[in-house]
């Protein structure tokens, strides 16, 4: 075997070419890390947003969008009495009457952003136990409570949504009463207001849905039976987890396009790497033939060439990982129904490492075979 130091010395013989190889591999690995993190973050936030214990009662035909649903505002009381298995906290049924409304919010500086508004009552905290108040208090009439990532979805500075700040929603002035967290869910990107205020802002007499929290996930058939029996109410019962799973499927083409874009750019970088290594190895055909003449086998020389490529690509992987941690980790990305936080997890880092190893091995094999194929006499005279 040729010593590892031989491969290391050859890497630095042509520094511009080394920089090109490291930069190309870093770009490919960074794209793979970004695509993996983005897809994982979006999928994770949608899967974590729905609870298997929560049942959504919404208008028939509106299963794909709660915002389009319209049901009677009296449904909350009817469902409390008619659905078995609804959990109770301090004697109060966990049933939340809600309005989901997409509109614009303007801060006092005139900056405007679109977001999802949820009209709620204090009972919303019974069906969404993951919600925690970080600052301020629950909204009363004329007030709103914002999720800790709402500023990112709205495109408004975070300081403009602090408790006590003045905002305007559909020309109606409001005061920010508090900031809440709901870790890992789309609710962190929402703005919550009093149910009565949303009735006025949305100019509707109906509500979007009623969310029930069941004592057990297995109690869903009770709510489903209630929806089927009450034909006069024209209802559909959905598990909250199923609703967000359907939304995840809706965004699947977007995630696929992310992979396709990353794959096309990566393919261009890989072919560029092939050309770079072809040029690097072809200029050393006589040197490689000399190594064979003094006793080194073609297998040993082939492994040394792969080592060169692998070391350069792993260096690029290290650069890409550092850039991803600096630029991507913890960054909040908005999308149509909320926002999610990108995390460079060990699984994401492993995907980048595997990509770097594959680039180093597969990128060196064709050039190395081509340069070692000529017979020894012909190679020595090249």
pLDDT digits (tens, 9 = 90+) for 78-121: 888 888 888 888 788 899 999 999 889 998 888 888 888 999 99
Say yes or no to pLDDT of 379 above 80: no
Question: Domain for residue 232, yes or no?
Answer: no
Q: Are 257 and 350 part of one and the same domain? A: yes
CB 234 within 8 A of CB 45: no
Q: Which residues of 170-190 are buried (b: 16+ CB within 10 A; e: fewer)?
A: eeeebebbbbbbbebbbbbbb
Question: Domain for residue 228, yes or no?
Answer: no
pLDDT digits (tens, 9 = 90+) for 188-204: 889 999 999 998 888 88
Question: Domain for residue 372, yes or no?
Answer: yes
| β-sheet bridge partners, residue 71 | 207
Helix (H) / strand (E) containing 136: strand 132-136
Query: What's residue 336's pLDDT?
Result: 66
Q: Are 181 and 273 part of one and the same domain? A: no
Q: Are 39 and 161 part of one and the same domain? A: no
Q: Which two tokens stand for residue 4?
A: 């590892």
**pTM of the full structure:** 0.76
Q: Are 126 and 267 part of one and the same domain? A: no
Q: What would the mean pLDDT of 266-274 be, rounded to a whole number?
A: 71
Q: Are 133 and 64 part of one and the same domain? A: yes
Question: Domain for residue 309, yes or no?
Answer: yes
Q: Are 43 and 63 part of one and the same domain? A: no
**CA–CA separation, 227 and 169 (whole Å):** 34
Question: Domain for residue 236, yes or no?
Answer: no
**CA–CA separation, 239 and 220 (whole Å):** 7
Domain that holds residue 39: 4-48+251-380
Question: Domain for residue 95, yes or no?
Answer: yes
Helix (H) / strand (E) containing 3: none
Say yes or no to pLDDT of 230 above 80: yes
Which has the closest alpha carbon to 67: 149, 248, 190, 219?
A: 190
Phi first, then psi: give them for residue 167, nearest 5 degrees: -135, 165
Phi first, then psi: give them for residue 341, nearest 5 degrees: -100, 130
Domain count, the chain: 2
**CA–CA separation, 46 and 254 (whole Å):** 14
Q: Are 270 and 349 part of one and the same domain? A: yes
- Residue 365 half-sphere exposure, CB side, CA atoms within 13 Å? 7
Q: Are 278 and 354 part of one and the same domain? A: yes
């Amino acid at each position: 075997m040729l010593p590892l130091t031989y491969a290391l010395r050859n890497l630095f013989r042509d520094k511009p070419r080394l920089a090109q190889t490291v930069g190309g591999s870093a770009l490919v690995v960074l794209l793979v890390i970004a695509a993996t993190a983005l897809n994982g973050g979006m999928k994770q936030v949608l899967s974590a947003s729905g609870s298997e214990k929560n049942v959504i009662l919404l208008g028939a035909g509106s299963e794909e969008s709660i915002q389009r649903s319209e049901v009677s505002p009296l449904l909350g009381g009817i469902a409390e009495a008619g659905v078995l298995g609804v959990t109770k906290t301090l004697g109060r049924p966990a049933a939340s009457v809600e309005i989901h409304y997409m509109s614009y919010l303007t801060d006092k500086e005139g900056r405007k952003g679109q977001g999802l508004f949820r009209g709620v009552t204090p009972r919303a905290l019974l069906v969404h136990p993951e919600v925690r108040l970080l600052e301020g208090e629950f909204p009363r009439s004329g007030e709103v409570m914002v999720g800790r990532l709402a500023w990112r979805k709205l495109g408004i500075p975070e300081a403009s949504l602090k408790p006590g700040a003045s905002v305007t929603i559909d020309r109606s002035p409001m005061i920010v009463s508090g900031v809440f967290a709901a870790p890992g869910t789309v609710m962190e990107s929402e703005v919550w207001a009093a149910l009565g205020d949303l009735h006025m802002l949305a100019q509707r007499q109906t509500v979007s849905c009623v969310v029930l929290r069941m004592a057990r996930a297995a109690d869903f058939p009770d709510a489903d039976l209630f929806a089927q029996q009450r034909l006069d109410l024209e209802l559909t019962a959905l598990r909250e987890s199923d609703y967000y799973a359907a939304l995840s499927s809706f965004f699947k083409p977007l995630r696929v396009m992310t992979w396709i874009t990353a794959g096309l750019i990566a393919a261009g970088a890989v072919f560029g790497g092939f050309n770079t290594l072809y040029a690097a190895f072809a200029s050393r055909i006589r040197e490689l033939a000399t190594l064979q003449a003094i006793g080194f086998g073609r297998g040993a020389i082939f492994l040394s060439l792969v080592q060169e490529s692998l070391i350069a690509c792993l260096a690029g992987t290290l650069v890409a990982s550092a850039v991803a941690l600096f630029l991507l980790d913890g960054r909040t990305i908005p999308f149509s129904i909320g926002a999610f936080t990108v995390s460079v997890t060990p699984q994401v880092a492993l995907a980048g490492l595997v990509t770097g190893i594959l680039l180093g091995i597969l990128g060196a094999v064709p050039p190395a075979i081509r340069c070692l194929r000529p017979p020894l006499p012909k190679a020595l005279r090249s």
